[in-house]
Amino acid sequence: MTREELLNAEVESNVGTPSAEEVEQFYEANKAQISIPKAQALPQVRQYMIDSSRRRYRDMMINNLRRSFKVTTFLDPLRTDIATMGHPSRGPANAPVTIVEFGDFECPFCGAFYPTMKQVEKAYAEKMRLVFRQFPLTNMHPRAQKAAEASLCANEQGRFWDLYDAMFSDQSRLDVPSLKQRAQTLGLNTTTFNTCLDSGKHAGTILKDQEEARKAGVSGTPTVFINGRLQTGRSFAEIQEVIEDELKRVSK
């Protein structure tokens, strides 16, 4: 059996398309974390459910294989070289683990993922560095582009993470006037911030982030790389497992 045949038999054949009723139920159960209009959110919810189902069946297959066969891995995990220099980061520069997140400030799933990343940062405060790269999905999120630009305008004043936290904590106010009001509330130099935001000076930087992300295989948000390893799971436990594995590799 080839790899493709195995994946089709154990994973793809089990992944179904959720019904409209199931999508509706998922939306209703999670709508408190979703800030975009319902009609716009439902297609994203459907895709999220499909992707989650695929990950679940893939993980089950791998776990079953590990239980059935004694496996010793000598190969290093597949890694992608993701540039971090010059991009907003927090955490020790020499941390053994670097997490790069490609995100969209208007993406409801990024908003739902935000508390998980806060939990990860708290658990590994001295052992990890978080780097944020821009990937606004402008075809679905009309306010994401300016929100991304605003974060980089705040970064000029050393306040990227303050605005990052503010926007992901409340994704309902991402229009330009609200972004300027947030900057004022945070105590930024509003004249400099407003001029930066209105000029679109960071649009080129964001476009470059998007191009590099696509080359790395990023197609949606949030997408996370842990020391270059593409992380498909979004739960704390799944991310913790990879971080612990990386820390063990460093200590060898």
Helix (H, G, I), strand (E, B) or coil at 85: coil
Report pTM: 0.75
Q: Do 242 and 229 meet the contact criterion of CB atoms below 8 Å apart?
A: yes
Tokens of 112: 């739902």
Identify the bridge partners of residue 134 per DSSP, sorted by sequence position: 103
Average pLDDT of the chain is 91
Least confident residue range of 85-89, 154-158, 211-215: 211-215
Q: Which residue has the higher pLDDT, 35 or 99?
A: 99
Count H helices and E strands in the chain, helices first. Answer: 10, 5
Q: What is the pLDDT of residue 74?
A: 67
Task: Report the percent of the chain where pLDDT is more than 90.
Answer: 65
Residue 31 has pLDDT above 90, yes or no: no
Q: Which residue has the higher pLDDT, 176 or 70?
A: 176
Identify the bridge partners of residue 102 per DSSP, sorted by sequence position: 133, 223
Pairing mode of beta strands 223-226, 89-90:
unpaired
**Closest C-alpha to 98, from 70, 76, 120, 67:** 120
* DSSP string of 47-76, one letter each residue: HHHHHHHHHHHHHHHHHHHHHHS-----SP
Q: What is the pLDDT of residue 33?
A: 63
Residue 38 has pLDDT above 80, yes or no: yes
Distance CA 48, CA 50 (A): 5
- Work out the number of other CB atoms within 10 angstroms of the CB of residue 107: 25
Distance CA 143, CA 175 (A): 6
Q: Do 58 and 134 meet the contact criterion of CB atoms below 8 Å apart?
A: no
Task: Report the percent of the chain where pLDDT is more than 70.
Answer: 96
Mean pLDDT across the stretch 76-101? 94
> In 138-228, where do the E strands start and end?
223-226
Q: What is the pLDDT of residue 196?
A: 98
Residue 41: which pLDDT band, with cuts at 50, 70 and 90? confident
Q: What tens digit of pLDDT does each residue of 42-69 get? A: 898 888 889 888 888 888 888 788 788 8
